[in-house]
Amino acid sequence: MMKIPNISKFLLLLFLISLCLHAASAADKHQDFVECLTKKFNDYSSISSNVYTPSNSSYSSILRFSIQSLRFISDSTPKPAVIVQPEHESQIPPVIYCAKASGLQIRTRSGGHDYEGLSYVAHVPFVILDLINLDDITVDVAEKTAWVGSGATNGALYYAVAQKSPVLGFPAGVCTTIGIGGHISGGGYGTLMRKHGLAADQVIDARIIDVNGRILDKKSMGDDLFWAIRGGGGASFGVITAWKVKLVDVPEKVTVFSIGRTLEQNATQLVQKWQSIAPKFDHDLFVRVILVPENLSSDVQGRNKTIRAIFNSLFLGKIDTLLPLMQKSFPELGLLREDCTEMSWIESILSFAGFPIDAPEMLLNRTQPAVRYFKAKSDYVQKPIPESGLEGIWRLMFEAVADQSVIIFSPYGGRMDEIPASATPFPHRAGNLYKIQHLIFWDESENQDSESYISWMRRLYKYLTPYVSCSPRQAYLNYRDLDIGVNNPKGKTSYARASVWGKKYFLDNFDRLVRVKTMVDPKNFFRNEQSIPPLH
């Protein structure tokens, strides 16, 4: 048996001691936190059933319920010292106070869709403040507004609006299980973006609990903080408990279509033309492109794979109006009447989500049909990618590792061109033709090779460098990507370090966000790997 040198034994002993001390420290902190809560609440029993520590039998199931990426569910993933699920906002100030007093960070979770798991993973002792119970929705049809709790999902809001009116809607994301809290605070886009803009553009009031435990609305928080939380990421500034949003008019009947074309059916040429014309379509017309690799039954031009480009559309009107528009703007696609289906707006939500259009109650389901391993990135395109550039993407998607890759092009133009870049922290407005979401999925049986999938994503991202925005290369906050830079969640983060990723997400708005952060949370209590830092 190999002998371990004395110095190695000593280092190993130090390492084991440090692990024990860290575990003991975390245990002490969570005990201090719980003891603090018992003193801060006049009636601790009012919240005790919603406080979960690792000793609770429900701890693991509560933690896992809202985790939407299997990358952050392993035994080695850092776990919270405590999970708190408040029933109403008045229970949150004591949680903030006790977390500060106990030396615990807070990670706020509404739907758990954070692409890097930052709402429920931290490499420091931390508490998850899970807003799942703050899901009340009140719709005022006469005023065309709604108050929605941050713990509610997109689907629940859509359902609540449709139950009250068939001609009102809300412009947010296609995925129905996303929590409203994170979605709106990062921007929030969907099929109505070209007509009405983002979810964050519709916010007219909000309720936030700041680092001092004050419960604030739009008037009491002031213009700067109200500006910051509408696209700047709410978790940097406090705990947002509810949003008041404007609802938008939708027609009684909308039209949807989804047409797939392979490379053998001129997909490359169709996508190339789409880039120039989709941002110029009528504001009522949204046509995105979903790109997926597909196996061929036999070799074609030396290939056993092709790319399918799916042209996926919502038109705010009837078929008879849509067909002439498409014939004039995009005749090459060959859209036919039989490709189109008229339906209500809420049925279109179900259709885009992949649900039966006669089952609206499915919008109330908080869990996805399948939670998987994935890695994602984002880009913005300001000049059409030439055919040769698209063909390079296809070559990467032909690789065996990319069998479950998906690339989505979402068009800009319309209302997105009209809202000034400084109106909210979300700056990606005029000048962009479309947004790209890059995704690669893999299964549990393949997770031992997870690095190969992440590496493929990074190679795709590098390949696209000449074809996307630059100086800085823009990115979408809600498609969080730690590859583009991180803060130090354990301590101070310099402005220069944070601006590496901050300028990509927020462009010139980053500096104003830093000033707001300095004003409302100067000691940087609310922080994570990509939170807005204060000026020290």
What CA–CA distance (Å, rounded) separates 282 from 275? Answer: 15
Strands 82-84 vs 126-130: parallel, antiparallel or unpaired:
parallel
Q: Which amino acid is at 198?
A: L
| CA-based torsion, 192, 196, 200, 204: positive or negative | negative
Buried b (16+ CB within 10 A) or exposed e, 228-267: bbbbbbbbbbbbbbbbbbebbebbebbbbbebebebeebb
Whether a cis peptide bond, with omega within 30° of 0, leads into 472 is yes
Are 210 and 520 in contact by the 8 Å Cβ rule? The answer is yes
Are 298 and 410 in contact by the 8 Å Cβ rule? The answer is no
- Residue 444, classed as helix, strand or coil, is helix
Burial of 150 (0-12, 13-18, 19+ CB in 10 A): buried
> Which residues have CB under 8 Å from 286's CB, separation 6+?
191, 192, 193, 194, 195, 313, 314, 315, 411
Buried b (16+ CB within 10 A) or exposed e, 440-451: bbbeeeeeeeee
- Residue 27, classed as helix, strand or coil, is helix
Q: List, by residue number, the catalytic residues.
A: 479
**Start-to-end Cα distance in the chain:** 54
Buried b (16+ CB within 10 A) or exposed e, 285-319: bbbbbbbbbeeeeeeeeeeebbbebbbbbbbbbeb
Give the strand order in the sheet containing 215-216.
137-140, 145-149, 239-246, 203-209, 215-216
Q: What share of the chain is helix, strand, coil (3-state, %, to 5)?
A: 40, 20, 40
What CA–CA distance (Å, rounded) separates 156 from 148? Answer: 9
Q: Give kind and range of the element (H or E) at residue 348.
A: helix 345-353
Burial of 31 (0-12, 13-18, 19+ CB in 10 A): middle
- Residue 97, classed as helix, strand or coil, is helix
Q: What is the 3-state secondary structure (H, E, C) of 490-523?
A: CCCCCHHHHHHHHHHHHCCHHHHHHHHHHHHCCC
| CA-based torsion, 165, 167, 168, 170: positive or negative | positive
